Chains A and B, each alone.
Chain A
Amino acid sequence: MSTTVSQIDEVKTTPWAGGRSPFAVEYGKMMMWFFLLSDAFTFSSLLISYGALRFSSNAWPAPDLVFKAFPYVSEDAPLVFVGLMTFILIMSSVTMVLAVEAGHRNAKKEVIGWMIGTIIGGLMFLGCQALEWTHLHSEGFWWGSIPNVETLKELFHGPISTTYAHQFANLFFTITGFHGFHVFSGVVINIIITINVLKGTYEKRGSYLMVEKVGLYWHFVDLVWVFVFTFFYLV
């Protein structure tokens, strides 16, 4: 042991002894991770209650019958529209990660281009969701309301159940609404960050770490959609 370093200081040089950060990420990025973890719990509680209610039911509106319309194009194209929505969201996740990659190289113009692409993707997704909600609303679905019995007969394989149709309507609008709200706030945050990039804020700061942090949020929104897609539209 060196004579200039006392034993208590020597201990503090290792990551978990307080010498340096064991996570080696910037404070804001770590907090974004922890926020996303808490958000994951919120979404999980919603999806788990959906799963529990659906598992305990003996009839449920069939996804391939409820989600079979492609607005303005076809009334009988099961799951195609939601496939397009999934594609748009994955695509906007890719443009986001490309913006982060350009930020690592301090390429301002490329960051702006990819960020604008991400915002457009987010807006397209929100537009698609608005169309889907409008379609279901026109059939009679809303929070606390369901279509008449004649329409319901076309939405179930086998015997119908108004109780479970109600549960489906409430859960669908709550969960996709909560997700859509996340997409909306993600688009707003992306717009703010893009304005900052345009103004040269991060160029002066010397790092595009903020782009990385909003990128984490945006990928999380995509991640949640992957689960919503599976549990509402496929299962």
Chain B
Amino acid sequence: MSSETIHTEHHDEHAEHDTMTKRRIWNVFFILLGITVIEFIIALWLVPGHHIPINWANPIYIVLTLFKAFFIVAYFMHLKFERIGLVFAIIVPVLFIIGLILVLTNESHHWIDLRAF
């Protein structure tokens, strides 16, 4: 029994071939840099120049930020290459945060009507 367990563990460690190489690290860096540059173009030229309205810009920022977060967590923090169990243990609790964001965003639109100033 014990020898069998050790054997399977040994096998698992060698199954993890896919990992970060230098090339991949720099690719992710340029993706992050590129997304940040796009955010700056929107903030400094497109919105002040009235090429796109401000209420379009904010959702675009949030989507781009989530893209950046994905690349940092998946590649720099290596989560993409971990076991699916660990991935779910980290990602699923974050869904509660999204829930709280939705609730309080909705709530804050109500607060604005309550304010007298």
Contacts and interface: CB of A to CB of B under 8 A. Distances in A.
Query: Secondary structure at chain B's binding surface: helix, strand, loop or mixed?
Result: helix
Interface string B74-116: 0111100011011001100110010011001101110110010
Given A101-B21, A222-B72, A235-B61, A22 B43 contact: no
A23 interface: yes
A220 B77 contact: yes
Contacts, number: 145
Contact of B20 (A19, A78, A97): A97
30 contacts: A13-B5, A23-B86, A24-B12, A37-B90, A48-B97, A48-B104, A51-B108, A56-B112, A57-B112, A79-B43, A83-B36, A86-B36, A87-B36, A91-B29, A93-B72, A94-B26, A100-B20, A101-B20, A101-B21, A101-B25, A163-B117, A212-B78, A215-B76, A215-B77, A220-B77, A226-B68, A227-B65, A230-B61, A230-B65, A235-B62
Interface of B: 1, 4-5, 8-9, 12-13, 19-22, 25-26, 29, 32-33, 36, 39-40, 42-44, 48, 57-58, 61-62, 64-65, 68-69, 72-73, 75-78, 82-83, 85-86, 89-90, 93-94, 97, 100-101, 104-105, 107-109, 111-112, 115, 117
